[in-house]
Amino acid sequence: MNHRQLDCFLAVAECLNFSHAAKRLYLSQAAVSQQIQSLEKELGFSLFARTRHSVELTEAGRYFYPQVAGSKAFFNAAVARAQAIAHKEQPRTIVGYDGPLAEYWVGKALKKAGTERGLSPYALKRATLPKLTAMLIDGAVDAIVTTDVEIRGISDMKFRALCSASPCVFYPKGHRFERMRYVSVDDLQGERILTAYNVPHSLAPSNIASYLQEHGVLPDTAVSVPDGDTAFMAVSIGMGIFVASHLCDGFAVRHGVESVDLQCDLDNVVMGIAWKAGSNNIDAFVNSALKLFEGKEKDAPISNARIYASDVD
């Protein structure tokens, strides 16, 4: 098993298309297929179910994807640290994130920090939230964009809430939910539910995923997609519905997807920045992120969320 094989696997898992994955990696489609076949032969099981018109992760592949993505991110972070030490470079600020929503805000905050305060060299690492938490605890990253649930109860951890939003359901135009002011878990029965990052099999499912599982509407047969943007695209073409929070409203709009409140006994999803107590090299990033949310920039993808930045010191 080598890095080229794993890079190809991650690309195909995220694109669910061999041609698109090949373009991302600047390889031929045949080369990507060869790497995947070689990896599957070495592992002894299939990672993808292929038809003439679609590519999907197998059950084993759905489990394997977040593990590989997190391990690769951890390895890359360790390499970056080691290189900086070996060359006596200025320490990098490494920020971890898990998907398009966090990526948008991380990029905006880093740009603002660099413009206003002068930020030390930085690097971005993408992984699932459980992996990011482990990397933060082990010191592989300096800060992560995460939810309050993920780091709750972990000692020596600081968290700044940026914004929160209530759970909701994203559905395609013309769906029966258009006529409803809100939906309950009973209304979700029989619907094909999409999940991001293989949530049902995650070591740390979100509160929303756990709630749906407890009420029997998120079975193992739920369709897994690699990230939120892919979920919205799938919703827009009628492949299913996506249960998340209004934090994602802006991204849904880009894909022409509608949303309706989910009536359930759950707290709002709170997104923020977490870092270990005693870390001083991320102050510029944190402060810039807070100022960014205070400003509520007009092109922000969050349209129906409560902004917390002005509520914290």
Of the candidates 263, 227, 202, 224, the residue with the CA atom closest to the CA atom of residue 58: 224
> For residues 193 and 240, is the Cβ–Cβ distance under 8 A?
yes
Condensed to tens digits (0 to 9), the pLDDT of residues 50-83 reads: 887 788 899 898 888 878 877 777 777 677 667 7
Considering only 62-71, 205-214, 300-309, which range has the smallest mean pLDDT? Answer: 300-309
Condensed to tens digits (0 to 9), the pLDDT of residues 234-253 reads: 899 888 899 888 888 877 88
* Global pTM value: 0.59
- Specify the pLDDT at position 204: 44
How far apart (Å, rounded) are the C-alpha atoms in residues 24 and 276? 34
Number of helical (H) and strand (E) elements in the chain, helices listed first: 11, 14
How far apart (Å, rounded) are the C-alpha atoms in residues 125 and 58? 26
Of the candidates 172, 248, 185, 178, the residue with the CA atom closest to the CA atom of residue 218: 185
How far apart (Å, rounded) are the C-alpha atoms in residues 260 and 70? 32
Element (H, E) at 271: strand 269-276
Taking residue 311's Cβ as centre, other Cβ atoms within 10 Å add up to 9
Q: How confident is the model at residue 84 (pLDDT cuts 50, 70, 90)?
A: low
- Count of all residues that appear for the chain in the document: 313
**DSSP assignments along 83-145, one per residue:** HHHHTTPPPPEEEEE-SHHHHHHHHHHHHHHHHHT-PPPEEEEE--HHHHHHHHHHTS-SEEE
Long-range contacts of 26-35 (CB under 8 A, 24+ apart): 32/8, 35/4, 35/5, 35/8, 35/9
Q: According to the per-residue pLDDT averaged within each range, which of 53-62, 101-110, 116-125 is highest?
A: 53-62
Condensed to tens digits (0 to 9), the pLDDT of residues 6-20 reads: 989 988 988 888 988
- Specify the pLDDT at position 259: 92
Element (H, E) at 241: strand 241-245
Sketch out the chain's domains with CATH numbers: 3-57 (1.10.10.10), 67-164+269-311 (3.40.190.10), 167-262 (3.40.190.10)
